[in-house]
């Protein structure tokens, strides 16, 4: 880790790039633009986040693993889907010095890898619903400006779930379940978010409709952190995925798919971090508590530190930093890494049988007697999570402004989201985007009487607009 | 799962291909030859095996994740290394419809992806030793006959560790540590193995020397299931990986790397499986015990089964199969999946307050009183592991034959390994291979007086020969 100063978080773009390197999340110095290396610490963070995602999915999904390479003929089967991806697909055309008979796509997403096999796995209504997921690397040959964890060429950590159902309505219920699951997941990361239905011109290529989970980054731009797509029978017809219903008739399945990428890590870092580095929700933090001895001549504080370590390590991920550095250097380092609680023990604490607990998020200090340490730590960690979430939620809500005019919307999206009425016509939506230089994120579930900002038609529809990553 | 009969294990090749499909390990019907799909059950098995490998490595290695794509110029830097891989490398040459400025290799292994970054991570002797690993997908455009989990084009589960040290001797100690770790790992899979030093003509391209872990498959062919390479300074000079030693001088690091692929899954399946399906060591089995009610009119055996389930699930991965199938169909299914212990409860067991425990490996049956169930299960599971390992070890040892002539060696390698004396000259080694149609796996650590099979020269060296995968 470089012993340098992090840029202030106000300068978000600089802060973001630097914190990834200084906190050792990802190393951006890999010799291909838009492709990063996960440091050991970043990888540990990634693993904790994805193990939470796994535990939520494992309740009723099965984890599988499909190949990276997709033959061109399979990849090209779904016309809409292709149109959406073809300019971004990496193609393997050579093996050794020979040209391949058929080019192989690096999956940008796995519908066309998985669905030819689902065709074999699904025979009868008893095979339904089928719910699988995988966590894999996917690839996009990005032409836009890349940004670590946010817009990358190798998405190292794409969680994609795929489900098949008898009816369109059942698939719709799955869309709702998936959104609920994503809500639970992002609450564990203490990342507040909004859910909208993407407009038709921005839905997943080949879907009936797309739902999206967005959050707001500190610079006021929206970041899509999860999507859920209702695929209807579009892919099942293309890939001939049928089941025999209870009366013996062959029917096409209805499908959904939903994904989350390492953008969830980017959001978690960006929403909570501060001028001193990462601030991690306790459930995510690879180290939850760091014990730091404040040495003084003739006092064996280390013994007291070890005692506290023994007490805490039963229930928490705790580290005793007994290196030779001065305490200030240790503070700097562990603050950068976002460790939620610091436990200091100096001569005074030792004499009183106490530990000084310092919260990473507020720097609030409290001396706690050893006999009450475990309980105090438990309370503080859960308070940290609740406070992080509440603060972030308020910040998000304060940056969503109801707007009655294009001008108001244009102003609102400089620092967040604009909530506006829209008639539902694509033409009006696109004109709203043009006039504000923002995008229509999508429609809220809420119903609000109003008039379309463009055509003045009465409408119940409200959409969120924002600048977006 | 297809309700079909598994070929007998004597016909190993057929048995192997069928069991992967019937036990739902991998689906070989993916539309690219040599590339498979992990079924949910196979994936669960893979996860258990790799979490054991992770826990062994995590003691003193850090997990990281490096990119899949390697720029051609980096990939081409180490001349020896390239020669070893160039005919097997897949190349990405297009992004969308455009040709890339520089072709990108799909990693066949990650030295050339990792070492340009290690150059940045290592500055001083305090950064050493550095020990990292990753579990990733790698690619080989195989021209030989492919075989699921054994010779594949996408290796989905390549664990590769990379270490850097101050001195050649320290790196050599790491080679020994890695071999010990691999030994521990394969003992957990109850897979016996031999360790040899690969002959120079078969070492890892760019290494000083290679150590290898091999096991014997049921058809008598050797399967390489792990390798450990001493890289010396070959790569550190190419990639300019230096450290400042304690007196301020710049020195090149000494490196090792070592890998294990999904061949470990193939070996575990092949060594233990039988005519009825998988036989899994208890630590690996996704389900360790299946409880099967043997229904009879007017007897509520299900209650007793649930009681046993509650008792066992505290400490074991246990399933109660209360589906409507007849017991025989259940036996078939769970035997195919290799569940180590079956617990049957019928009217008689219920009345006696007993459970009938049936071992998957021996089909030995024993009625156990509920009060002694937990202890009995613990004992049986540990006996199953010990017996599986011992049986496999004896089988391996019985198929290693000391041979004094080429003819004896030729006969020995029809069913296993031949142990022969060799002078150490490459010419003699190659002639031994030619004369026996086998390969020299490598040199044993043991010293045995003898004469080279080819040149008759006196020697202490003994090598193992075999046919190999």
Q: Hey, are the CB atoms on A37 and B117 less than 8 Å from each other? A: yes
Tell me the shortest Cα–Cα distance from A217 to chain B, in angstroms: 26
Query: Quick check: is B1 in a domain?
Result: no
Same domain, B103 and B150: yes
Those residues with Cβ within 8 angstroms of residue B322's Cβ, 6 or more apart along the chain or in another chain: B293, B302, B305
Same domain, A333 and A412: no
Tell me the pLDDT band of A296, cut-offs 50, 70 and 90. Answer: confident
Q: For residue A31, give the nearest of B27, B87, B116 by CB distance.
A: B116
Q: Can you tell me whether residue B44 is helix, strand or coil?
A: helix
Same domain, B99 and B236: yes
pLDDT of residue A426: 97
Predicted confidence (pLDDT) per residue in B355-406, tens digit: 999 999 999 999 999 999 999 999 999 999 999 999 999 999 999 999 999 9
Same domain, A352 and A457: no
Predicted confidence (pLDDT) per residue in A104-120, tens digit: 999 999 999 999 999 99
Q: Does A24 score more than 50 pLDDT?
A: yes
Summary mean pLDDT of chain A: 96
Q: For residue A96, give the nearest of B31, B93, B141 by CB distance.
A: B141
Residues of B in contact with A40 (CB under 8 A): 62-64, 132
Q: Does A257 score more than 60 pLDDT?
A: yes
Q: Hey, are the CB atoms on A69 and B97 less than 8 Å from each other? A: no
pLDDT of residue B2: 47
Taking chain A, what is the end-to-end CA distance rounded to the nearest angstrom?
28
Tell me the shortest Cα–Cα distance from B208 to chain A, in angstroms: 25
Predicted confidence (pLDDT) per residue in A261-282, tens digit: 999 999 999 999 999 999 999 9
Please, are residues A112 and A81 in contact by the beta-carbon 8 Å criterion? yes
Predicted confidence (pLDDT) per residue in B158-191, tens digit: 999 999 999 999 999 999 999 999 999 999 999 9
pLDDT of residue A300: 81
DSSP per-residue codes, A191-259? ---EEEEPPGGGSPTT-SEEEEEEEE-TTS-EEEEEEEEEEETHHHHHHT-EEE-TTS-EEEPEEEEEE
Q: Hey, are the CB atoms on B93 and A93 less than 8 Å from each other? A: yes
Q: Hey, are the CB atoms on B62 and A68 less than 8 Å from each other? A: no
Smallest CA–CA distance from A1 into chain B, residue: B121
Query: Quick check: is A306 in a domain?
Result: yes
Same domain, A126 and A210: yes
From the list B148, B75, B150, the residue with the least C-alpha distance to B116 is B75
Predicted confidence (pLDDT) per residue in B291-331, tens digit: 999 988 777 899 999 999 999 999 999 999 999 999 999 99
Strands (E), A250-312: 250-252, 254-260, 289-293
Q: For residue B30, give the nearest of A27, A87, A117 by CB distance.
A: A117
Summary mean pLDDT of chain B: 96
pLDDT of residue A3: 55
Q: What is the DSSP letter of A437?
A: T
Tell me the pLDDT band of A1, cut-offs 50, 70 and 90. Answer: very low
Q: For residue A43, give the nearest of B63, B86, B116 by CB distance.
A: B63
pLDDT of residue B296: 80
Interface predicted TM-score of the whole assembly (ipTM), two decimals: 0.96
Residues of B in contact with A29 (CB under 8 A): 117, 120
CA B272/CA A323 separation, integer angstroms? 48
Same domain, A23 and A71: yes
Q: Hey, are the CB atoms on B65 and A37 less than 8 Å from each other? A: yes
User: What CATH code is carried by the domain that includes residue B108?
Assistant: 3.30.930.10
Smallest CA–CA distance from A34 into chain B, residue: B67
The stretch A349-377 carries a mean pLDDT of 96
Tell me the shortest Cα–Cα distance from B198 to chain A, in angstroms: 25
Q: Does B79 score more than 90 pLDDT?
A: no
pLDDT of residue B277: 98
Tell me the shortest Cα–Cα distance from A80 to chain B, in angstroms: 16
The number of CA neighbours under 13 Å toward the Cβ of B181 is 23
Same domain, B141 and B237: yes
Tell me the pLDDT band of B467, cut-offs 50, 70 and 90. Answer: very high
Tell me the pLDDT band of A84, cut-offs 50, 70 and 90. Answer: confident
Query: Quick check: is A392 in a domain?
Result: no
Q: Does B343 score more than 60 pLDDT?
A: yes
Query: Quick check: is B202 in a domain?
Result: yes
Query: Quick check: is A250 in a domain?
Result: yes
- As a whole-number percent, the residues of chain B with pLDDT over 70 amount to 99
Query: Quick check: is B148 in a domain?
Result: yes
From the list B8, B434, B50, the residue with the least C-alpha distance to B261 is B50
SS3 assignment for A368-413? EEHHHHHHHHHHHHHHHHHHHHHHHHHHHHHCEEECCCHHHHHHHH
Select from B239, B272, B305 the last residue of a domain.
B272
Tell me the pLDDT band of B82, cut-offs 50, 70 and 90. Answer: confident
Strands (E), A107-205: 130-139, 154-165, 194-197
From the list A290, A281, A291, A229, the residue with the least C-alpha distance to A256 is A229
Tell me the pLDDT band of B338, cut-offs 50, 70 and 90. Answer: very high
Q: For residue A156, give the nearest of B65, B88, B94 by CB distance.
A: B65
Size of interface A-B (CB pairs under 8 A): 152
Predicted confidence (pLDDT) per residue in A395-451, tens digit: 999 999 999 999 999 999 999 999 999 999 999 999 999 999 999 999 999 889 999
Strands (E), B172-317: 194-197, 209-216, 222-232, 242-244, 250-252, 254-260, 289-293
Q: Hey, are the CB atoms on A91 and B86 less than 8 Å from each other? A: no
pLDDT of residue B5: 87
Q: How far is CA B377 from the centre of its chain?
A: 27
pLDDT of residue B222: 98
Number of folded domains in chain A? 3
Query: Quick check: is B433 in a domain?
Result: yes
pLDDT of residue A85: 85
pLDDT of residue B3: 55
- pTM as predicted: 0.96
Q: Does B19 score more than 80 pLDDT?
A: yes
pLDDT of residue B4: 73
Q: Is the dihedral of CA A167, A172, A177, A182 positive or negative?
A: positive
User: What CATH code is carried by the domain that includes residue B351?
Assistant: 3.40.50.800
Residues of B in contact with A54 (CB under 8 A): none
Predicted confidence (pLDDT) per residue in A44-56, tens digit: 999 999 999 999 9
Q: What is the DSSP letter of B212?
A: E
Question: Which of A89, A95, A98 best tests the B interface by mutation, with the highest count of B CBs <10 A?
Answer: A95
Same domain, B230 and B306: no
Those residues with Cβ within 8 angstroms of residue B327's Cβ, 6 or more apart along the chain or in another chain: B292, B294, B344
From the list B183, B171, B236, the residue with the least C-alpha distance to B445 is B183
pLDDT of residue B365: 98
φ/ψ bin of A232: left (φ > 0), alpha (ψ from -120 to 50), beta (otherwise): left
Higher pLDDT, residue A4 or B430: B430
pLDDT of residue B67: 98
Select from B315, B348, B381 the last residue of a domain.
B381
- As a whole-number percent, the residues of chain A with pLDDT over 70 amount to 99
Q: Does A163 score more than 70 pLDDT?
A: yes
Same domain, B39 and B179: yes
Tell me the shortest Cα–Cα distance from B165 to chain A, in angstroms: 18
pLDDT of residue B295: 85
Please, are residues A207 and A229 in contact by the beta-carbon 8 Å criterion? yes
Query: Quick check: is A396 in a domain?
Result: no
The stretch B80-97 carries a mean pLDDT of 90
Q: Hey, are the CB atoms on A89 and B95 less than 8 Å from each other? A: yes
Strand B289-293 to strand B318-320: parallel, antiparallel, or no bridges (unpaired)?
parallel
Please, are residues B318 and B288 in contact by the beta-carbon 8 Å criterion? yes
Same domain, B327 and B414: no
Q: Does B85 score more than 90 pLDDT?
A: no
User: What CATH code is carried by the domain that includes residue B428?
Assistant: 3.30.110.30
Domain of residue B441 covers 401-466
- As a whole-number percent, the residues of chain B with pLDDT over 90 amount to 94
CA B464/CA B448 separation, integer angstroms? 13
Please, are residues B96 and B166 in contact by the beta-carbon 8 Å criterion? no
Residues of A in contact with B154 (CB under 8 A): 67-69
Strand partners, B54: none
The stretch B55-68 carries a mean pLDDT of 98
Tell me the pLDDT band of A180, cut-offs 50, 70 and 90. Answer: very high
Tell me the pLDDT band of B24, cut-offs 50, 70 and 90. Answer: very high
Strand B439-443 to strand B450-451: parallel, antiparallel, or no bridges (unpaired)?
unpaired
Same domain, B81 and B224: yes
pLDDT of residue A2: 47
Question: Which of B96, B99, B127, B156 best tests the A interface by mutation, with the highest count of A CBs <10 A?
Answer: B96
Tell me the pLDDT band of B231, cut-offs 50, 70 and 90. Answer: very high
Same domain, A155 and A242: yes
Smallest CA–CA distance from B86 into chain A, residue: A96
Select from B352, B381, B410 the last residue of a domain.
B381
């Amino acid at each position: 880790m470089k012993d340098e100063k992090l840029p202030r978080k106000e300068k978000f773009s600089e802060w973001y790039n630097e914190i990834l390197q200084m906190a050792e999340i990802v190393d951006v110095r890999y010799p291909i633009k838009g492709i990063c290396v996960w440091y050991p610490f970043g990888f540990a963070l990634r693993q904790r986040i994805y193990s939470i995602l796994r535990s939520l999915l494992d309740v009723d999904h099965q984890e599988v693993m499909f190949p990276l390479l997709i033959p061109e003929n399979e990849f090209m089967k779904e016309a809409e889907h292709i149109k959406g991806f073809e300019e971004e697909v990496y193609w393997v055309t050579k093996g050794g010095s020979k040209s391949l008979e058929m080019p192989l796509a690096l999956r940008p997403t796995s519908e066309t890898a998985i669905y030819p096999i689902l065709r074999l796995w699904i025979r009868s209504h008893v095979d339904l619903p089928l719910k699988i997921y995988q966590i894999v690397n996917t690839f996009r040959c990005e032409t836009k400006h890349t940004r670590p964890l946010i817009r990358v060429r190798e998405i190292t950590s794409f969680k994609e779930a795929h489900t098949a159902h008898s009816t369109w309505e059942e698939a719709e219920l799955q869309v709702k379940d998936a959104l609920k699951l994503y809500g639970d997941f992002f609450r564990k990361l203490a990342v507040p978010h909004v859910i909208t239905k993407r407009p038709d011109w921005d839905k997943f290529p080949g879907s009936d409709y797309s739902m999206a989970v967005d959050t707001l980054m500190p610079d006021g731009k929206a970041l899509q952190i999860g999507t859920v797509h209702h695929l209807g029978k579009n892919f099942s017809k293309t890939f001939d995925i049928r089941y025999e219903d209870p009366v013996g008739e062959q029917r096409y399945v209805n499908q959904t798919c939903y994904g989350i990428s390492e953008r969830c890590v980017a959001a978690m870092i960006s929403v909570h971090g501060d001028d001193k580095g990462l601030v991690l929700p306790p459930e995510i933090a690879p180290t939850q508590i760091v014990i730091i001895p404040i040495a003084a001549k003739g006092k064996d504080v280390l013994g007291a530190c070890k005692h506290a370590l023994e007490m805490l390590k039963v229930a928490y991920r705790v580290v005793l930093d007994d290196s030779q550095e001065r305490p200030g250097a240790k503070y700097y380092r562990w603050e950068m890494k976002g460790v939620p609680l610091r436990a200091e023990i100096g001569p005074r604490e030792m004499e009183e049988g106490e530990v000084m607990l310092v919260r990473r998020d507020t720097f609030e200090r409290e001396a706690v007697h050893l006999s009450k340490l475990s309980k105090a730590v438990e309370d503080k960690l859960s308070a940290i999570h609740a406070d992080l979430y509440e603060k972030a939620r308020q910040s998000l809500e304060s940056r969503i402004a109801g707007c009655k005019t294009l001008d108001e919307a244009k102003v609102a999206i400089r620092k967040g989201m604009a909530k506006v009425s829209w008639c539902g016509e694509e033409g009006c939506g696109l004109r709203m985007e043009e006039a504000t230089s923002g995008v229509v994120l999508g429609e809220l579930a809420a119903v609000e009487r109003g008039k379309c900002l463009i055509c003045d038609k009465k409408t119940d529809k409200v959409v969120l607009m924002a600048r977006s990553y």
